[in-house]
Structure 1
Amino acid sequence: MPHLHSPFQLKRLELKNRIVMAPMCQYSVEAKDGKPNDWHFVHYVSRAVGGTGLILMEMTDVEPDGRITDYDLGLWSDEHIPAFRRIIDEVHTYGAKIGIQIAHAGRKAEDAAVPVGPSDIPFQPGAKRPRPLTVPEIEALVGRFRDAARRAVEAGVDTLEIHGAHGYLVHQFHSPGINNRSDEYGRDLAKFGSEVVRAVKSVMPDGMPLIMRVSAVEYMDGGYDLEHSIGICRRYLEAGVDLFHISSGGEGPAGQRKPGNYPGYQVPFARAVKQALGVPVIAVGMLDDAKLADATIANGDADLVAVARGMLRDPYWAIHAVRETGGENRPPRQYERAY
């Protein structure tokens, strides 16, 4: 029976434990140029020192106007590669694996003069009205996802994650409440995301798994449910996704249905996708209690667990969690005397 401390392998990705550092925007790019800096270096490397199996770097955007804010990371230029490589190389020094979450904010791009999206529906009352993308612009964006993935691979990543959750561009296209297009990208809600998946896979080495983060349910009134997201995930699986990272919401202000506010509230969504599609999944959402995280793995609800705020509070969460649940996770030799 696997537990939190047990190794995990998917294709050529080998992890020393089942613990994932979830992507969390730092809004800390100083020159607004998209390049990670010393803050990001310390932030990610310290979690590698802290025993994390897989680190997923925060939402990294494929073009400047695809960022949530101008202080977010980007991979729209080859000039970004060295700064990412510096972090990735040092993370590897401590036995952790690392990937980058590639994304476009779409209508949620707060600092874009005019955000874009599948349609002209704003994110929320008072938000900027997005401009619907033309078909040639959509095709060009697919190419930008591909190019960003190629740069991430050149920087040395072990895996990649496409952000198809939390109301960002890929999610916007596969949401019937946001995408009101009448063309092929509206009639087939999985078309854009599937094209992005295939484009990203085309520049990934054989044996490198592709992760996709999805929102299992939406909370806005009239939002989609689990049956819809499983159908979308099935299409993305056919396009080449190897592992799903199951979250929820983020598409707009919550309506009558509200997100949970208790530990493990999204775990049933992860289990449902895993069972329906027979694919490995990452569970996320208030899993910073080590015993709950361990139980999520031991019960077969998910193959990996992602921790977000818990790792913001404690860079060494993984070491502490593995030891608390009966495993051995040796700290760096410089810290061994503390244990």
Structure 2
Amino acid sequence: MVAKYRAGGLDDPEDEAGEVAAAESAAERRVAEVDAAGHGERLDRWLTGLAPEFSRNHLQSLIERGCVLVDGRALQKAAHKLRAGQRVEIELQPTDESRAFRAEPMALDLAFEDEHLLVVNKPAGLVVHPAPGNWSGTLMNGLLAHHPAAASLPRAGIVHRLDKDTSGLMVVGKTLEAVTALTRQIAAREVHREYLALAWGRVEEAFVVEKAMRRDPVSRVKMAVAPANLGKPARTDVFPLGVGDVQGRPVSAVHCVLHTGRTHQIRVHLMHSGHPLLADALYGGAPALGLSRQALHAARLGFTHPITGAAITLVAALPADLASAWAGIGAADLPG
């Protein structure tokens, strides 16, 4: 089975069974003559009748790429008005999304694995699943190579995600039963997730950020704090682990506990509290201590095994870049 993903990630799955089925086969050509009912119709709209299993956006991209001929001539304008009697030929090529759902062998740092699930220690820089600009080389591609049966699972078994430049632990289901149970645990807030971060400013006392979140109304690549009636509930507990001085400015090591799992939650909540993460360009955190990515690591993951019922708690040490920065301010480690 091939799955389709769009920008926005796990909150935005689409059911494109017909389109996917077409994409799995080799590109085919379809030819038809415009009848009286199609006279004056836009080319892209008319094509949705000839190839209804594809989205109109994808058909428009095929027009732009010269895959559509009208009376033997490539017309690269989706708004072209057709005339009755014209012969239209289209080469149906698979969508980028469907091509992305392919196995790509890669080294996976596995903290735990059995026949039901696995926990991967994701490195910074690895995208979790395909999206525009990253149609290959993702964790999902690696999972398909490591565990071919993942091809039959929703999102290849991925039940939650980390940002591209956040490192750390992620649990992945290997069977539909495990995926379903893990998804329910996450929805019920029964999966325990803790992070280590380096943030600008002085954090010497624990605090709680309980602010609803939504997509930023100005920049669609960002999230933002929102009034409770306009956003989804979100809570982050923040605990101090140490404060150091960097370039004449205080930097704090913090331990963050998630009670919800909104996109960019820790990054937004700390920025809103006046403590943006080091090297988090999207949310105003200046780089320091040699870091080229946001200083955030999913260090501890706890959940109930969906099949055996055993309590599982795993800890991932800081990767080299964060460990070096962490030592640079003399911060304490994740509490036991």
TM class by shorter chain equals under 0.3
Bigger share in strand: 2
Give the TM-score normalised by structure 1: 0.24
